Amino acid sequence: MIVPRKALQQNTVASHYDDLDQFYRDIWGEHVHHGLWLTGRENPQQAVEQLVVHVAQRAAVAQGDRVCDVGCGYGGTSRILAHEYGAEVTALTISPAQHKYASEKEPDQSNPVYLLRDWCENQLPPASFDVVISIESSEHMPDKAAFFAEVSRVLRPGGRFVVCAWLARSGARAWEIDHLLEPICREGRLPGMGTAEEYHQFARDAGLNPTGFDDLSRQVKRTWPLCAWRMIKGLIREPAYRRFLFVEKSPDRIFALTVFRIWMAYRTGSMQYGILTALKPAEIEAGCSPVAYNALRGS
């Protein structure tokens, strides 16, 4: 696990997204996540929506499924799952700015339901969802084991889980950690960046059975030169960008540099983009803790 050398303060993730709200919506739009280029001919909007479709397919989302979207951002994914797949979606974010935008996007709609809530203290009933998805939110969780444990707790027996994650290369070299991965964690407000192997183990420890893993690093890395170009255009055209980066004293303005670090981390293979799928075994009873389940099965 790659962790920042300086521990992040409490609420730093929420303040990061609130502070950069304008920039995230300008640069990423409603989908604050990578795009997925399968043919290479997709435009950026098609690419980000294609990632949502890929996740929905991996999770086998169907009409009437109860879906929990962990770290929903501005609600773009949640709205697709609700309107195009017919799922009943509960979406969580810890950013007041994101929650406000998502809640006001469709004020007359009751699906999705948006909650301003910390996932690790989500207060959702056990065994209440058929599907849990997390698109690039687990990186921001200070306790990865608790993140996976809550997924297992709220999933019904037989429920499906899909997590898209920024991952560190296993056995990353010292220079990759010092100049790319650790600064990305610190500047991007990531309490820890795990490896694919660690994510598999977190899932197993939570009583989930990993069923698949996609390394989509090559198919998503085009996201970052696009973001860098949009940011450069913003600096040229928008005085607000220049004020934020060169005049105001926000601790989050360093993320402008992080965009280029992430681009380089993908180019060198230091960072990977993985999608892990897992099932909650049908024999887990509602309310049975992952620890108790693992003890029963002798793991």
For the stretch 240-266, pLDDT in tens is 767 766 656 666 566 667 888 888 999
Domain ranges of the chain: 13-218+245-296
Over its C-alpha atoms, the chain yields an Rg (Å, rounded) of 19
169 vs 265: CA distance, rounded Å: 10
Q: pLDDT tens across 165-215, in order? A: 999 999 999 999 999 999 999 888 889 999 999 999 999 999 999 999 999
The closest of 99, 134, 96, 130 to 114, measured between CA atoms, is: 99
Owner of token pair 């998805």 = 133
The closest of 61, 16, 52, 5 to 31, measured between CA atoms, is: 52
195 vs 273: CA distance, rounded Å: 10
Q: How confident is the model at residue 294 (pLDDT cuts 50, 70, 90)?
A: very low
- The per-residue pLDDT for 250 is 62
- Decide if pLDDT at 87 tops 80: yes
Mean pLDDT of all residues in 60-74? 96
Comparing 116-120, 130-134, 178-182, 226-230, the range with the smallest average pLDDT is: 226-230
Comparing 177-181, 232-236, 269-273, 291-295, the range with the smallest average pLDDT is: 291-295
User: Cα separations (Å) of 97 from 19, 104, 121?
Assistant: 9, 11, 20
For the domain bounded by 13-218+245-296, which CATH number is listed?
A: 3.40.50.150
- Decide if pLDDT at 52 tops 90: yes
- The per-residue pLDDT for 238 is 74
Alpha helices in the chain (DSSP H): 12-19, 21-27, 44-58, 76-85, 96-105, 144-154, 174-176, 182-187, 196-205, 217-220, 223-237, 239-246, 255-268, 290-296
User: Cα separations (Å) of 10 from 14, 15, 94, 151?
Assistant: 9, 10, 12, 22
Q: Is-contact 200 276, C-beta < 8 A?
A: yes
Average pLDDT, the chain: 87
